[in-house]
Amino acid sequence: MNMEVKETTLNKKDKRNNDVLLEVKNLKTYYPIKGGIFRKTVAVVKAVDDISFEIKKGETLGLVGESGCGKSTAGRTILRLLDATDGQIIFDGDDITNIRGVSLRKVRKDFQMVFQDPYASLNPMMMVGDLISEPIRNFTNKSSKELKPEVMELLTKVGLPEDAYYKYPHEFSGGQRQRIGIARALALKPKLIIADEPVSALDVSVQSQVLNLLKELQDEFDLTFLFIAHDLSVVKHMSDRIGVMYLGGLVEVSEKNSLYAEPLHPYTQALISAIPEPDPRKKKERIILEGDVPSPIDPPKGCTFHPRCAHAMPECQQVKPTLKEVKPGHRVACHLYN
Amino acid sequence: MSVNTQLHKDTPLLEVKNIETAFSIDGQYYNAVDNVSFSVKPRQIVGIVGESGCGKSVMSLSIMKLLPKGIGKIKSGSIQFEGVQLEQMSDKEINSIRGKEIAMIFQEPMTSLNPVFSIGFQIQEVLFNHMKISKKEARLKSIALLKSVGISRPEKIIDEYPHQLSGGMRQRVMIAIAIACQPKLLIADEPTTALDVTVQAQILELLKDIQKVNDMSVILITHDLGVVAEMCDEVIVMYAGKVVEKTDVDTLFHDPKHPYTKLLMGAIPRMDEDVEVLSSIKGIVPSLKNMPKVGCKFAARCPQVMPECTSITPLLAETDEGHEVSCLLYPTSRPREGVLHNEYGS
């Protein structure tokens, strides 16, 4: 079993080609804050503020950051669950930023989402079989009955017994519910799956089951993942490349190993040093960040991280740094590397 | 307090012996904490780790006598704090210990602070309860406490309300309230679980400093093995209400003995090494109602299970000095002839 998985992942790396599946250009998502008697927009929350990245076919891009950094909003905007304020989302060669109606419905088939809370994301009144076949029924004229063999196959694929078909979500544990969520996301054979904190509600032993499953399925179905999480060690385990977000912006994007071996942005350095490691013999230098993340309503001028940065220079207060390639495959937005 | 002065380094501050805490489900009682014994020495940080439902929080509520009335109760066993039996105390007696001698901080700092009272009021409440102190003194002391937990502008914050603070700040306020009367023992139940990693690092650092400055003992309850490695001296691993392994932190991470502990270690993705497949534990923790009555509770999920695991209940016993394991793979855990189902006693 172990060997098998290893071999397939090796194959995957070969299969991974340079075709870009998703390209995000200068994406911005702002939430308006309304006030006064006329409900005028009095301010905006810059949840996602000018981010650009691309995901290649068969690759997993991890998006990490602390709560409120805009990683989930970015995921939802890409799925077109939220409207982008500005920028472009190019999926499989087509600009999908502003498409509506039938054409939006058509591309929706190709991307699916796995949500964080396996308790809230499944309809408690629906049988598991119906839950999983619903996305397929949405796009074809087939009935639940006709789709049964297909659903049964999906259930086995995600490691659930076939009799789960007739059960209801409350009869399952958190880990099993997340498997149902994954089966549902796979039902339409999507090209891209956005997993938004898929394991953060689970215990470690169950978390590892679900992470292993996601990896196996990726090899089997040649899936592309955007993996959103706050846990850096989980993201490291899952991703090929990683983007680090802070206050709505991407501060660093890099190949996984380069990022963890040599984080360049001071925020990434602090973030990585903050993770408690499960080894009491390792005493590492910890960078403790002062204060809290500033409000995204009124983010600091220049580099958004400068008020908390130990290396801040006068320039940082004035000019907002942009992502620049410092090493091959390693981009960082910081004035230290100019 | 004369007991206190007699304490020397190795006399335990808290001694929990064979505690059984049960919850009633449909009129029947089921053990959520099953025969747990451990002790906390002065100035020691003891970690209790385990997954959700393993009984680690119930353990802490039992010590504080905060179990929900009519639903949960301590069935047997003893909890000794500085030579006093806590489990037999009346509500009034325990109130003089709670918050003064033993304090507690919880996971969710938003729900454990009262939203309609100011920060200052909530700190002073503890002070007025346990000390003879004037209003003015209490206010000054509250400001000093806020300062000691690293809150800048304490003179302002004291008059603010919980919703005006961030998660990390609220947890700092909780810690300030907890240490207001300089307790000897602090029980921290998942104190950083709701916080971001960088804030978690701040709070853990603060807890360590405060523990040293105040000469406190700490019971740290967590599911995060990284936090345990960082903070604790001694560790207790719990599974399904039972202690499966108990040892010092270094031994636990470098020579884990119980199959459950080993699997748990392999299940976390590591920062320092690459693994393609994480170890996972098949199945889930059995519910209280379906808990096996005899045998090892982990047997159904254990990769090293043997036929006798379902019929013989393993004892928690020392395999090496200071390293206790409850698993039939180790001869020390096998009950002696004739006392097959006798549980571990002290």
pLDDT-derived band at A18 (thresholds 50, 70, 90) equals: low
Interface probe for A, chosen from B45, B54, B196 (most Cβ of A below 10 Å), is B196
User: Cα(B162)–Cα(B169) distance, rounded to whole angstroms?
Assistant: 9
User: Cα(B294)–Cα(B313) distance, rounded to whole angstroms?
Assistant: 6
pLDDT-derived band at A1 (thresholds 50, 70, 90) equals: very low
Whether A172 is in a domain gets the answer no
Residue that wins the pLDDT comparison between A92 and B336: A92
Which phi and psi (to 5°) does residue A318 adopt?
Answer: -105, -50
User: Cα(A1)–Cα(A8) distance, rounded to whole angstroms?
Assistant: 11
Which three-class secondary structure state does DSSP give residue B143?
helix
Chain A CA closest to residue B225:
A278
Q: Say whether residue B254 is in contact with chain A using an 8 A CB cutoff.
A: yes
Inspect the interface and report whether the beta carbons of B228 and A277 lie closer than 8 Å.
Answer: no
- Ordered alpha helix ranges (H), B216-279: 225-231, 249-254, 259-267
Question: Residues, chain B, total?
Answer: 346
Residues of B in contact with A9 (CB under 8 A): 276
Q: Which helix or strand (DSSP H or E) is residue B119 part of?
A: helix B119-130
pLDDT of residue B26: 87
Whether A264 is in a domain gets the answer yes
pLDDT tens-place string over residues A248-281: 999 999 999 999 999 999 999 999 998 888 888 8
Neighbours of A164 (CB within 10 A): 23
Residues of A in contact with B198 (CB under 8 A): 66, 270-271, 274, 288-289
Residues 6+ apart with CB under 8 A from B144: B154
Asked if B63 and B79 count as a contact pair (C-beta separation under 8 A), the reply is yes
Min distance A220 CA to chain B CA atoms (Å): 15
User: Cα(A338)–Cα(A325) distance, rounded to whole angstroms?
Assistant: 10
pLDDT of residue A11: 46
Per-chain mean pLDDT for chain A? 89
Inspect the interface and report whether the beta carbons of B276 and A5 lie closer than 8 Å.
Answer: yes
Min distance B174 CA to chain A CA atoms (Å): 17
Min distance A245 CA to chain B CA atoms (Å): 13
pLDDT of residue B337: 61
pLDDT tens-place string over residues A194-239: 999 999 888 888 899 999 999 999 999 999 999 999 988 999 999 9
Task: List b or e across B124-138, with b for residues whose CB sees 16 or more CB atoms inside 10 angstroms.
Answer: bbbbeebeeeeeeeb
Whether A24 is in a domain gets the answer yes
Which phi and psi (to 5°) does residue B143 adopt?
Answer: -65, -40
**Average pLDDT score over residue span A90-118:** 91
pLDDT of residue A17: 53
Closest to B224 (Cβ–Cβ): which among A5, A173, A276?
A276
- Ordered alpha helix ranges (H), chain A: 2-15, 71-78, 101-108, 128-139, 144-157, 174-186, 204-221, 232-238, 256-261, 266-273, 314-318
Burial class (CB in 10 A: 0-12, 13-18, 19+), B121: middle
> How many independent structural domains does chain A possess?
1
Inspect the interface and report whether the beta carbons of B278 and A208 lie closer than 8 Å.
Answer: yes
Closest to B51 (Cβ–Cβ): which among A204, A212, A292?
A204
Interface probe for A, chosen from B57, B170, B197 (most Cβ of A below 10 Å), is B197
- pLDDT above 70 (res A304): yes
Inspect the interface and report whether the beta carbons of A292 and B169 lie closer than 8 Å.
Answer: yes
Strand duo A224-229 + A192-196: pairing:
parallel
- pLDDT above 90 (res A323): yes
Which three-class secondary structure state does DSSP give residue A13?
helix
Residues 6+ apart with CB under 8 A from B330: B257, B317, B319
From first to last of its 346 residues, chain B has per-residue pLDDT tens of 444 444 445 689 999 999 999 999 888 899 999 999 999 999 999 999 998 888 888 999 999 999 988 889 999 999 999 989 998 899 899 999 999 999 999 887 778 899 999 999 999 999 999 999 999 999 999 999 999 998 888 999 999 999 998 888 899 999 999 999 999 999 999 998 888 888 899 899 999 999 999 999 999 999 999 999 999 999 999 999 999 999 999 999 999 999 999 999 999 888 877 788 888 888 778 888 888 889 999 999 999 999 999 999 999 999 999 999 999 999 999 987 655 554 444 3
Residues of B in contact with A218 (CB under 8 A): none
Here the contacts of A94-103 (C-beta below 8 Å, separation 24 or greater) are none
Min distance A136 CA to chain B CA atoms (Å): 29
Chain A CA closest to residue B261:
A205
Whether A8 is in a domain gets the answer yes
Structural domain spans, chain B? 2-101+183-333, 109-182
Residues of B in contact with A276 (CB under 8 A): 200-201, 204, 224, 226-227, 229-230
Does the pTM of the predicted model rise above 0.80? yes
pLDDT of residue B174: 93
Closest to A278 (Cβ–Cβ): which among B169, B205, B253?
B253
User: Cα(A114)–Cα(B161) distance, rounded to whole angstroms?
Assistant: 37
Here the contacts of B90-96 (C-beta below 8 Å, separation 24 or greater) are B91/B65, B94/B64, B94/B65, B96/B130
pLDDT tens-place string over residues A29-82: 999 998 888 888 888 999 999 999 999 999 999 999 988 899 999 999 999 999
Inspect the interface and report whether the beta carbons of B264 and A205 lie closer than 8 Å.
Answer: yes
Residues of B in contact with A230 (CB under 8 A): 196-197
Burial class (CB in 10 A: 0-12, 13-18, 19+), B155: exposed
pLDDT of residue B342: 46
Inspect the interface and report whether the beta carbons of A278 and B265 lie closer than 8 Å.
Answer: yes
Inspect the interface and report whether the beta carbons of B271 and A236 lie closer than 8 Å.
Answer: yes
Min distance B196 CA to chain A CA atoms (Å): 6
User: Cα(B302)–Cα(B291) distance, rounded to whole angstroms?
Assistant: 15
pLDDT of residue A235: 93
Residues of A in contact with B272 (CB under 8 A): 277, 279, 282
Q: Which CATH number fits domain B2-101+183-333: 3.40.50.1260, 3.30.1490.480, 3.30.460.10, 3.40.50.300?
A: 3.40.50.300
Min distance A108 CA to chain B CA atoms (Å): 31
The DSSP line for B46-71 is EEEE--TTSSHHHHHHHHHT-PPTTT
User: Cα(B255)–Cα(B106) distance, rounded to whole angstroms?
Assistant: 31
Q: Bridge-partner residues for B188, per DSSP?
A: B105, B220
CATH code, domain carrying A101 = 3.40.50.300
Radius of gyration in angstroms for the set of CA atoms belonging to chain A, rounded to a whole number:
21
User: Cα(A174)–Cα(A122) distance, rounded to whole angstroms?
Assistant: 11
Whether A124 is in a domain gets the answer no
Inspect the interface and report whether the beta carbons of A274 and B197 lie closer than 8 Å.
Answer: yes
ipTM value greater than 0.90: no
Interface probe for B, chosen from A208, A240, A256, A288 (most Cβ of B below 10 Å), is A208
Residue that wins the pLDDT comparison between A282 and B235: B235
Maximal C-alpha separation, chain A: 67
Whether A159 is in a domain gets the answer no
Task: List b or e across B67-102, with b for residues whose CB sees 16 or more CB atoms inside 10 angstroms.
Answer: beeeebebeebebbbbeeebbebeeeebeebbbbbb
User: Cα(A326)–Cα(A321) distance, rounded to whole angstroms?
Assistant: 13
Chain B CA closest to residue A237:
B269
Residues of A in contact with B166 (CB under 8 A): 292
pLDDT of residue B9: 54
Chain A CA closest to residue B250:
A280
Neighbours of A276 (CB within 10 A): 22
Inspect the interface and report whether the beta carbons of B197 and A232 lie closer than 8 Å.
Answer: yes
Strand duo B185-189 + B217-222: pairing:
parallel
Residues of B in contact with A272 (CB under 8 A): 271
Q: Can you give the residue range of the structural domain that contains A311?
A: 2-110+190-337
Whether A158 is in a domain gets the answer no
Closest to B229 (Cβ–Cβ): which among A173, A270, A277?
A277
Residues of A in contact with B203 (CB under 8 A): none
Inspect the interface and report whether the beta carbons of A212 and B230 lie closer than 8 Å.
Answer: no
pLDDT-derived band at A8 (thresholds 50, 70, 90) equals: very low
Inspect the interface and report whether the beta carbons of A236 and B254 lie closer than 8 Å.
Answer: no
